[in-house]
């Protein structure tokens, strides 16, 4: 039987990602279309604990599609990991007569949602929102496409100055456990080398590649470093290379949180809209503890347990090979 859901709340948690606002907008308006009362939880799980829950209508989400970040704000909340914190959050949901939650975030967000739902039998659906693109069950996560475009734009500008001065630039991008941003932005920007957490590249191999480029009169070189590379960040690797290869003037750029900001791409706006729409429909159809994700070009459900515990996600083999072949 379909649940009698009358009041639905949406929250964003963990790191912000472009496209979250599109997801919020779709959740609120889809719920209102189906005659439900809609609420927004400000500052993620902290807002649940502090009862920072506000009613929202269709006009509450006007003119937010183009905005980066999240209008509901986000925050880390260690208290939500405790039984006491979850108990307080649940009492606040009851006080507001909220029947179900849509949570937008990454693995930490989904871990909390799964435990909360199991403990108090709260209906919950997750939307994957993280620029790292590292959740099983969705080919793309909210913010990933925009982050890549931001990185590419930055690298293109750095390439201009690198060519002008015969420089070697090490550019560090986000990706503690995932090389998705590094790999695709590296290919799209013509990087000479890409260092990934998933693929071991020795400093010796990197130097050999740079020497090969220098011997064929490359005027500059760009090396993309995912922050989770086993040899350390861009500064550490650049130092090791500079000590043994001085053909270029070596510089380092850390892109950091620049990658999380900015107006979402059309892809992320549409993805957020599709997943927000699907999340509410899933709740109304009786689903819970599921993540809505894009696989192929279809929105499909993956259990939160499977999304969190399936570690078969890997970088595309053809992209890995292509990155090496096209950088000669």
Just list the catalytic residues: 132
Task: State how far the Cα of 12 lies from the Cα of 272, in Å rounded to an integer.
Answer: 12
Strand partners, 103: 11, 126
Helix axes 266-284, 144-165, angle to 10 degrees: 160
Q: Taking CA 121 as the corner, what is the angle to CA 120 and CA 127, rounded to the nearest 5 degrees?
A: 105
Q: Tell me the torsion sign for CA atoms 58, 62, 68, 71.
A: negative
Distance between first and last Cα of the chain: 60
> What backbone phi and psi angles, to 5 degrees, belong to 168?
-110, 115
Strand 298-303 and strand 290-295: the pairing is antiparallel
- Decide if 13 contacts 72 (C-beta within 8 A): no
């Amino acid at each position: 039987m379909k649940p009698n859901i009358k009041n639905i709340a949406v929250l964003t948690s963990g790191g912000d990602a472009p496209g979250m606002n599109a997801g919020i907008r779709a959740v609120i308006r889809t719920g209102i279309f189906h005659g439900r009362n809609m609420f927004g939880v400000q500052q993620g799980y902290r807002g649940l604990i502090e009862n920072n829950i506000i009613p929202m209508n269709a006009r509450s989400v006007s003119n937010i599609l183009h905005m980066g970040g999240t209008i509901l704000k986000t925050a880390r909340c260690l208290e939500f990991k405790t039984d006491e914190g979850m108990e307080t959050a649940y009492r606040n949901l009851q006080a507001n007569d909220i029947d179900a939650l849509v949570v937008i975030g990454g693995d930490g967000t989904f871990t909390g949602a799964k435990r909360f739902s199991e403990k108090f039998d709260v209906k919950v659906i997750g939307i994957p929102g993280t620029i790292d693109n590292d959740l099983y069950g969705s080919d793309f996560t909210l913010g990933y496409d925009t982050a890549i475009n931001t990185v590419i734009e930055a690298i293109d500008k750095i390439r201009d100055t690198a060519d002008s001065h015969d420089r070697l630039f090490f550019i560090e991008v986000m990706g503690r456990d995932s090389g998705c941003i590094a790999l695709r932005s590296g290919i799209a920007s013509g990087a000479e080398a890409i260092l990934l957490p998933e693929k071991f590249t020795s400093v010796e191999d990197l130097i050999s590649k740079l020497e090969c480029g220098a011997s064929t009169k490359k005027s500059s070189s760009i090396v993309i470093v995912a922050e989770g590379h086993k040899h350390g960040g861009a500064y550490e690797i650049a130092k090791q290379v500079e000590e043994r290869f001085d053909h270029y003037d070596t510089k380092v750029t850390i892109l950091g949180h620049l990658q999380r900001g900015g107006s979402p791409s059309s892809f992320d706006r549409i993805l957020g809209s599709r997943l927000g729409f699907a999340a509410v429909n899933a709740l109304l159809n009786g689903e819970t503890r599921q993540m809505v994700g894009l696989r192929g070009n279809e929105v499909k459900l993956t259990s939160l347990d499977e999304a969190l515990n399936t570690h078969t996600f890997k970088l595309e083999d053809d992209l890995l090979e292509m990155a090496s072949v096209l950088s000669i």
